[in-house]
Amino acid sequence: MKNVLATKRGIIGVGIAIGVLASLLQFWGNPANMGICVACFVRDITGALGLHRAPVVQYMRPEIIGFVLGSFVSAYIFKEFRPRLGSAPVVRFTLGFFAMIGALIFLGCPWRALLRLAGGDFNAILGLLGLAAGIWIGTMFLKSGYNLGSSHKTYTSAGWIFPIIMLVFLIIMLFNPMIAGESKSGIIFYSLEGPGSLHAPLIISLVIGLVIGVLAQRSRFCTMGAIRDLILFKQTHLFVGLISLAVAAFIMNLVLNQFNPGFANQPVAHTMHIWNFAGMVLAGLAFTLAGGCPGRQLFLSGEGDGDASVFVIGMIVGAAFAHNFGLASSGAGATTAGIVALSIGFISCLLIGFTMKENISGGI
């Protein structure tokens, strides 16, 4: 069967769908220029579980749950579920960890960088330039033989673990629903103010998450891959999807009156250009070394890739560290601790890139 979504028209359609749905999610209640942000939403889930206690970013984001479960269902329907694992898990954990640190210094994943730009937040330009620079560094490593080695086939039940974790998160949320004015319901936390308190209705978030999960699994949508393939192979296939997302979100923002151009006073953003840039250099490098942007790692987790799941778990731990130790930026800007963590992240990713090479024609 031909996979229509993996064609050029397909990837453009998926980009448009994600852009439109993200703007609508903002319209229905998600934070400004954050209709969807994989890094921020994984961070919010980390907070909902109490793994960090920053009271403004705690919410069990159903979009993330939907992404994984949508991809899982799609992979089963189209017979693409392939349980696999075993390619350098601790390295992928480390990359996920520092990808999150970098993203939280900029305040967004690549998806949100595009949505921020589409909403008129020009600080996102620095983030996107940083992302491209980080990916460019990553392609240098790829060209010189960087490779984390092969994964291998595993048990079906092993591929189910991450989707089941997401299902459990959903069940926890359904049994511990939000109570107006309460910061805790049963065992999970709910923000009363800040971005964590802003969200579309649960069912809308979940359904849109599921739809995007299916679309992205089928189309292999990946923002890092878009820029990487352009630099490495001069290939525009995924890149047109990325552009479609930004253009669609921009038009929807105009329609919904959500476009506010400028640098200052942008929602959940700061104007420290150097750190906006540097944060995303680190994130872009980590995504490239791991083979996918945060969204793509979720979709891969849904189709049975246990190594992608380890990357996401690294992101969760990274988010906990970021807020427990004051590494994440805020509207006031980057923090000194964040800059120290950023430096450690660069050293770690460069060491990974320089030392994990093999002769490309042989095996490990």
Smallest separation, CB 122 to other proteins (Å): 31
What's the min distance (Å) between Cβ of 291 and other proteins?
4
At its nearest, how many Å lie between other proteins and the CB of residue 153?
Answer: 6
Give the Å distances, CA to CA, from 27 to 38, 106, 175, 211, 224. 18, 23, 27, 18, 27
Q: Which stretch binds other proteins (CB under 8 A): 29-37, 101-109, 146-154, 335-343?
A: 146-154
Distance between CA atoms of residues 230 and 233, nearest Å: 6
Residue 104 structure tokens: 């939280």
- Beta strands 84-85; 188-189: pairing state: unpaired
Q: What is the Cα–Cα distance from 312 to 162, expressed in whole angstroms?
A: 10
The site map against other proteins for 255-294 (x = CB under 8 A) is -----------------------------------xxx--
Which of 4, 53, 150, 156 is in the footprint of other proteins by CB under 8 A?
150
Q: Is 178 in the site for other proteins (CB under 8 A)?
A: no
**At residue 111, what is the residue type?**
W
Q: Does 147 bind other proteins (CB under 8 A)?
A: yes
Q: Which is nearer to other proteins, 250 or 287 (CB)?
A: 287
Determine, following the binding rule CB under 8 A, whether residue 151 of this chain makes contact with other proteins: yes
CA distances for 265 relative to 28, 199, 238, angstroms: 22, 21, 32
Q: Tell the smallest beta-carbon distance from residue 100 to other proteins (Å).
A: 19
Choose which of 87, 253, 258, 309 interacts with other proteins (CB under 8 A): 87
Binds other proteins by CB under 8 A, chosen from 9, 53, 152, 357 = 152
Q: Which residues of 99-119 are buried (b: 16+ CB within 10 A; e: fewer)?
A: bbbbbbbbbbbbbbbbbbbbb
CA distance 214 to 317: 26
**Minimum distance, C-beta of residue 305 to other proteins, in the bound complex (Å):** 8
Q: What are 349's two structure tokens?
A: 């990713």
Give the residues lining the site for other proteins (CB under 8 A): 3, 6, 78, 80, 82, 84, 86-87, 142, 147-153, 220, 222, 225, 228-229, 232-233, 235, 237, 290-292, 307, 360-361, 363
